[in-house]
Copies of this chain bind each other. A is one copy, B any other.
Amino acid sequence: MPSIDVGIEEVAAAAGVATSTVSRALRNQQGVSEATRQRIRALAAELGYVPTSAAARLASGRTHTIGVLVPTMNRWFFSSVLEGIDEVLHAAGYDLMVFSLTGRGSERQRLFDRALRGRKLDGLIVLGFPLSRPEEARLRDAGVPVVAVGHSVPGVTSVSIDDRSVMETAVDHLHRLGHRDIGFLAGGMEFDLSFAVPRMREEGFHEALRTRGLMLRPEFRGRAAFTVESAYAAGRHLVERWAITPRPTAMVACSDEMAFGLIAAFREAGLRVPEDLSVMGVDDHDFSESFGLTTVAQDAVGHGRMAARLALSPERRRLAPSEPVPHELRVRRSTAAPRQRA
């Protein structure tokens, strides 16, 4: 039974060496003979010695903790990225501190501050939203390395797909199938979140249409937040409108979760997917394969791993390519060639 209060001194005493030697030995620093190191390790384990984190932090200035600022943990993309981050961090002996903005978009600045105050982090990963000027400034003089995920930030190491190109991929798929009347469910109705990603996807979509000599008819367009619920509501509105206007043969949603909502609304209105209408999304959500949703996949867990590695290593950050991470089309059952119009 290890006693309750073993400090580095007890270990040192037991090993007949100085505390500094124990410290070095236990952290695999050079300058300790292998024999001594072994002996100290054994003793430390036996006594159940564990360095007090606060003391180590104070003395070394390093916290072995990385913070993550996230809009919400309730969305596939964010929780997946978090998993990836966690995986790498823990493997490296680091801890993960999470700061979620959920329901407090207005307090964003304050939360941002909380994360940086008191030097409690060795690095910060910002998920899903761009930084404001004051925030960037705040970071600089906090001297905390930052990595952005889910959107690119000029001047900051970032990991993300190319949102325009994603839409090119999506539209290309539908166009090849023969679709010409393609609708779009845009994102960006959130309160808290960035408008950058939805806007870029929207622009990308329009450009992809334009390239092909197509245009987005107003009645083919909806807008919703990045949630099933919101997309479902938008879908119902669209369906109502289509009672008196033509409807598209395919819809692209800004995310898979939005596509789920659309499909639910369409099905409820008696529209069959893909027979009456093709639907596709972006993400490759965990549910998408079972649901048979065609989508443009991004590797969220991989994003997280990459971000964590970048957060941990200054060299990697320096060498980091600013190219976007690749995405990939996954064709499934929710898209098909349009039926001949009567």
- What is the CA–CA distance of A73 and B260 in the complex, to the nearest angstrom? 21
- What is the CA–CA distance of A26 and B91 in the complex, to the nearest angstrom? 38
| Option from B102, B265, B287 in Cβ contact (under 8 Å) with A86 | B102
Which one of A63, A95, A97 has the highest number of Cβ atoms from chain B below 10 Å of its Cβ? A95
Contacting residues, chain B, for A33 (C-beta < 8 A): none
At the interface, yes or no: A103 with Cβ under 8 Å from chain B?
A: yes
- What is the CA–CA distance of A118 and B93 in the complex, to the nearest angstrom? 13
At the interface, yes or no: A156 with Cβ under 8 Å from chain B?
A: no
Known: A227-B286, A268-B292. A83 touches B97 (CB 8 A): no
- What is the CA–CA distance of A255 and B53 in the complex, to the nearest angstrom? 39
Known: A50-B118, A57-B54, A90-B111. A95 touches B97 (CB 8 A): yes
| Option from B82, B99, B120, B265 in Cβ contact (under 8 Å) with A54 | B120
At the interface, yes or no: A184 with Cβ under 8 Å from chain B?
A: no
- What is the CA–CA distance of A58 and B54 in the complex, to the nearest angstrom? 5
Give the Cβ gap from A136 to chain B, nearest Cβ, in Å: 15
CB of A4 within 8 A of CB of B141, answer yes
- What is the CA–CA distance of A155 and B316 in the complex, to the nearest angstrom? 47
- What is the CA–CA distance of A108 and B114 in the complex, to the nearest angstrom? 30
Known: A74-B286, A141-B4, A260-B287. A114 touches B102 (CB 8 A): no
CB of A120 within 8 A of CB of B232, answer no
Contacting residues, chain B, for A104 (C-beta < 8 A): 90
Contacting residues, chain B, for A227 (C-beta < 8 A): 286
Give the Cβ gap from A288 to chain B, nearest Cβ, in Å: 9
CB of B291 within 8 A of CB of A264, answer yes
Type the 1/0 row for A182-225, where 1 means its CB is closer than 8 Å to any CB of B: 00000000000000000000000000000000000000000000
Which A256-304 residues sit within 8 Å CB-CB of chain B?
257, 260-261, 264-265, 268, 286-287, 289-292
CB of A53 within 8 A of CB of B120, answer yes
CB of A102 within 8 A of CB of B87, answer yes
Contacting residues, chain B, for A72 (C-beta < 8 A): 83
At the interface, yes or no: A29 with Cβ under 8 Å from chain B?
A: no
CB of B73 within 8 A of CB of A79, answer yes
Known: A103-B87, A268-B292, A286-B74. A58 touches B52 (CB 8 A): yes
